[in-house]
Structure 1
Amino acid sequence: MQNETEARDGEREEGRAGSGAEYTPEMMNRIYEAVLNQVEEAVVISDDENKVIFINRAAEVIEGVDAKKSLHKSMEELYCPTENTPKHSRHAIVLNTGIAANEYFNQYVVKESHKVLNVIERMFPVNYKNRTVAVYSLIKNLPVMKKTMEQSLELYTHFEEEKPRNGTKYTFSSILGNDINFVEAISNAKHVAQNQTNVLIYGETGTGKELFAQSIHNYSVFQNGPFISVNCAAIPATLLESMFFGTVKGSYTGANNMAGLFEQAENGTLFLDEINSMDIALQAKLLKVIENKTVRRIGSEKELSINCRILCALNEDPLECIENGKLRRDLYYRLSSCILHIPPLRSRKSDIPLLCGCFITRYNKEYGQHIRRVDSGLMERFLRYQWPGNVRELQHVVESAYSVSEQNLDVLRLEHISPYYRSFFAEPGIAGAAAPMAADPAAWETVDSPVSSAAGSADTVDFTTKVSAAPGDFRALPPPAHGPGGFPGSPGQSPEPPSLPLKEAMDAYEKSILSATLARLGGNVSAAARELMITRQALQHKIKKYGL
């Protein structure tokens, strides 16, 4: 039995040996060629005379050559250098020295296809019996590498943005806007986020205070901790104190051991929205927590150290809140070392098309619609409207069209908006001001956003999935007719045809407003900034820009 087993093992060994012996040099060459043709990198091999003996399929595609026609030609016949590269063949250098050339940038011209290639190349010698018998190059096309990296980055960013993060939904990449004052607010918020100071965010209702607060949290050292948001106006004053500080069992009837919000936000961020609605006495206790970094539960005698960042927000001017008794002066001064002002939508109307494009993209997905365009007349009304509800109101107006309109809508017009919101834009002042401009659809074409008048009707603006617009993009607009309060387009006034390009007309208008305001206030920059509702830094920038 043992002899039979040994005999079978011997036969298998002989079979393997016999099978291996059948691989001829021709078959091996076919195997190597098949493998190299599946490699994504371009491969070019030259012999000891610097003549091409192999070009793989990737090299054919990248260089635009025929591999069979290129065989046995010298490297100098196939390629030539550019003014940015050496005047001699690198293959020849590696062949003569036997030294590999590790990853370097190369630029060369392919004579057959006349292509100028920018590549990342690696070159290695093949040594046999103490001499170099061949040289092979591994080549990556630089533009293809760049595109692949961008696609990978987009995919990574997509999944990062979709991933839930510590109770937040927003980062700075979620904030849209190109207006100079708004961009400055974002920049300031990013700088503030890098340190651990407490911040007071001031902005009207609907400007995006919580969006900024979440972005600051996710840009800070506290990003891995919890983000807890509390709207002080939505919670009864009798409950706020126990919510903030926590309780111990028996401190009052029904009380249990419960951690307060300061404890729950440990190593994270506590965002207190509308603190001007908080009871003045509770504001005093909040000030103590901010200063001492300790908190005491209701009914306890023990002070607990806390480590969380506190962000506060106001929907009214801080100084007016102090005068009206809604905000403690000492709390304001404790927080005023860092105040972020978010400009209202009416002061950054150039961002309205960008925001509309974003909302259209979002609601197309949510409602299964395919709206691609906003009627230019409707957009004109949007730009004339003062938006007391700011970005949130604009969002609701756009969404209302999806809620009440029919399916398969392509162009968003005034009649598609819900009747309640439609009345806001049907006022005589707005309609009268918009009429002269609605006739010229090209007036609403933007420089950076993909606007297409050829793709649809002649009176519409096209929004695609990715919309971007820069400040001052709109062209060919008539200069505004100034009514009471300096607002353009007052009822009964017809704007004259433009005598200047929009950018120059807008600059001239802005310069005149700034000059008049500064003159009236005796050159007081801080007072002028408050009156114009912009930051002092933004006003200084404009003063320098216009040489005032």
Structure 2
Amino acid sequence: MDCAKGNPLCQRLYAALFDVLEEGIHVLDAQGRTLVYNQKMADIESLDRDEVASSTLSELFSFPAREGSTLLHALTTGTALHHVRQTYFNRFGKSITTVNDTLPIVAHGKLLGAIEIARPVASTPDKINEAKLKGAAHYHFDDIVGNSRSITHVVEQAKRACRTRSSVLIVGETGTGKELIAQSLHNASDRSGGPFVSQNCAALPESLMEGMLFGTMRGAFTGALDRPGLLETADGGTFLLDELNSLGVPLQAKLLRFLEDRVVQRIGANKGRVVDVRILATVNEDPEALMASHQLRKDLYFRLGVVILRIPPLRERREDIPLLVPPFIARYNRLYHLRVRSVSAEVMDLFHQHEWPGNVRELEHLIEGAMNLIGDEEIIGVEHLPPHLQSRLPSLPVLQHEESHQTAVHPLPLLNTSTLRDTPFQEQVKNFQRTLIHSALARQKGNVSAAAKDLQLSRQNLQYYLRHL
């Protein structure tokens, strides 16, 4: 049977074969049109197959702005993605999470399309695979936002470190983007085609962590199975130990032995196996302090810290805040179907004054929270921020939602200095504020916007004072 010429019988045969598979299959041609969409994929995405065949991906799904569609990535770049976990939404708002292998279809040097093989996360219970897939390297150096000297210096150092297999220790407070740097290191190295495996050392008790890292042999202990550890799983690629300071000291000693000979010996095994894996690690505290408190072995620190990258906290690169805000707004516009354009000048001022104990992650969560509270406005205002940030505005009570129409200007009484002695302090402050506002309005001939600019207030804040003083 010749299937090369579009034989209808072959097409029906292929369709029948695709429909008995346990994985979802979606194939696009070079123009992004759907060629194959099997029943399993329709079940995963809760869509009608005929609807998919007549629609574009952008009409059917919304994807997080930074990650995007793995299928479109393979189609537009011609590069394959393996074991990538993806969360996205169908047009009805249903959240879908799959693990994908996505490949470009190339013939005679020409890109003909792309195929995606998807498995719903619920059908991937194996903890080793889950750990591997959670650590799939999505990020590249281009995803790191900022022009400050401190962050550009770190990025340049990290790019140079991509050239070798030396271990790298990434130091930074919680929320600074340590894993983003780690994934970028992997994707820019000659190991980018291999696995990227990540394990948070604080996520599991120490009794389970050794088996997760080094693997087990059947019978080694009750319930033990023949199972490779994460270090074996990462063979040929990169392994990230996140929050290394949460790893118990005895396990740190075993990890040190592995770093010296690169031999993995499963629990219960008589011999080990040499693996080729690059080790990255992160700590969220000062390494010197961790060693002083015996949370980090000195010999492990010196062995891992061949290259040490220090990620600056957000308070040390405040000039990057205006660059970080727009991508977060774009992400949550897409997720929540909003049309927010920016933040107000007052909000940006607060952002520049804030200490950011949670760093970039805290900034993202503040933006997300504000976009949950915003109405039809296109600008995030102070009133959309948490109370602890609103209270930082000087001499301004916590704001409520303001009407957008212009407030009529009424004459405000001038300060009567002869009565100050018998006037309570708060009333004196209000009288002084009335005087300042009256003077500004008089100078600007009753123009509220001009008076607000004169007083270095937003028009909205001036309207608030006009109504409440």
In the alignment, structure 1 residue 424 sits paired with structure 2 residue 393: no
Instruction: Return closer, same or farther for 1:458/1:203 CA change in 2, 3 Å cut-off.
Output: farther
1:414 equivalent to 2:382? Answer: yes
Equivalent residue, structure 2, for 1:337: 306
Relative distance call for 1:156 and 1:256 in structure 2 (3 A) is: closer
Question: 1:203: how far off?
Answer: 0.4
The root-mean-square deviation of aligned C-alpha atoms, in Å, is: 2.6
Cα distance change of structure 1 residues 357 and 434 upon mapping to structure 2, 3 Å threshold: farther
> d(CA) in 1 for partners of 2:250 and 2:451?
58
**Cα distance, 1:360 vs. partner?**
1.1
1:404 positional shift: 2.4
Q: Distance in 1 between matches of 2:396 and 2:174?
A: 27
CA distance in 2, matches of 1:281, 1:353: 45
* Shift of residue 234, structure 1, vs aligned partner: 1.2
**Alignment counterpart, residue 266 of structure 2, candidates 292, 297, 321:** 297
TM-score w.r.t. structure 2 length?
0.56
> Residues 365, 229 of structure 1: CA spacing in aligned structure 2 closer, same or farther, 3 A cutoff?
same
Q: CA deviation at 1:434?
A: 10
Rounded to whole Å, the distance in 2 between the matches of 1:162 and 1:372 is 33
List aligned pairs for 1:37-436, cutoff 5 A.
Answer: 159-160=76-77, 164=81, 167-406=136-375, 408-417=376-385, 422-427=386-391, 430-432=392-394
1:257-289 deviation line (CA, Å, top 9, x unaligned): 000011000111110001101000000000111
Gaps of 5+ in 1: 1-154, 436-456, 461-476, 478-548
Residues 335-354 of structure 1: CA distance to partner in whole angstroms, max 9, x if unpaired? 22210000000000000011
1:375 and 1:459 in contact (8 A); partners too: no
8 Å CA contact retained: 1:384, 1:434 = no
| Offset of residue 357 of structure 1 | 1.1
Identical amino acids, percent of aligned pairs: 43
Q: CA deviation at 1:188?
A: 0.4
Deviations 1:496-525 (A, max 9, x none): xxxxxxxxxxxxxxxxxxxxxxxxxxxxxx
* Alpha-carbon distance in 2 for matches of 1:234, 1:459: 55
Note the 1:435-446 alignment, pairs <5 A: none
Tell me the SS of whatever aligns to 2:394. Answer: helix
Go from structure 1 to structure 2 and tell me whether the alpha carbon gap of 1:185 and 1:290 turns closer, same or farther (over 3 Å shift): same
How many Å apart are 1:193 and its aligned residue?
Answer: 1.2
For 1:459 and 1:267, how far apart are their aligned partners in 2? 66
Q: Distance in 2 between matches of 1:273 and 1:285?
A: 17
Mapped to 1, the partners of 2:317 and 2:234 lie a distance apart of 34
The secondary structure found in structure 1 opposite 2:190 is coil
Which one-letter code corresponds to 1:409 in the other structure? E
1:359 to 1:157, Cα distance in 2 relative to 1, 3 A = farther
Distance 1:314 1:433, change over 3 A: farther
8 A Cα contact 1:387 1:393, kept in partner: yes
Shift of 1:374: 1.1
Mapped to 1, the partners of 2:75 and 2:254 lie a distance apart of 42
Amino acid at match of 2:355: Q
* Cα distance in 2, alignment partners of residues 249 and 234 from structure 1: 24
Question: Secondary structure at 2:309's aligned position in 1?
Answer: strand
Q: Alpha carbons of 1:359 and 1:320: their partners in 2 closer, same or farther (altered >3 Å)?
A: same
CA displacement at 1:223 relative to structure 2: 0.4
SS of the residue corresponding to residue 223 of structure 2 reads coil
The answer for the alignment partner of 1:74 in structure 2 is: none
How many Å apart are 1:163 and its aligned residue? 7.2
228-237 vs 390-399, which moves further: 228-237
Is the 8 Å Cα contact of residues 73 and 79 (structure 2) preserved in structure 1?
A: no
**In the comparison of the two structures, how many residue pairs are matched?**
279
Distance (whole Å) between structure 2 residues aligned to residue 433 and residue 352 of structure 1: 25
- Whether the aligned pair in 1 keeps the contact of 2:170 and 2:282 (CA below 8 Å) is yes
CA contact (8 A) 2:145 2:323 kept: yes
How far residue 405 of structure 1 moved from its aligned partner, in angstroms, is 2.2
Distance 2:189 2:310 in 1: 19
Residue type of the alignment partner of 1:295 = V
Residue 291 of structure 1 and its aligned partner are, at CA, apart by 1.0
Alignment-mate amino acid for residue 432 of structure 1: P
Question: 1:312 is paired with a residue of what secondary structure?
Answer: strand
- Describe the shift of the 1:379–1:181 C-alpha distance in structure 2 as closer, same or farther (beyond 3 A): same
The alpha carbon displacement at 1:296 in A equals 0.4
Could you say what secondary structure the match of 1:250 adopts?
A: coil
- Cα pair distance change 1:360/1:236, threshold 3 Å: same
1:358 Cα shift?
A: 1.3
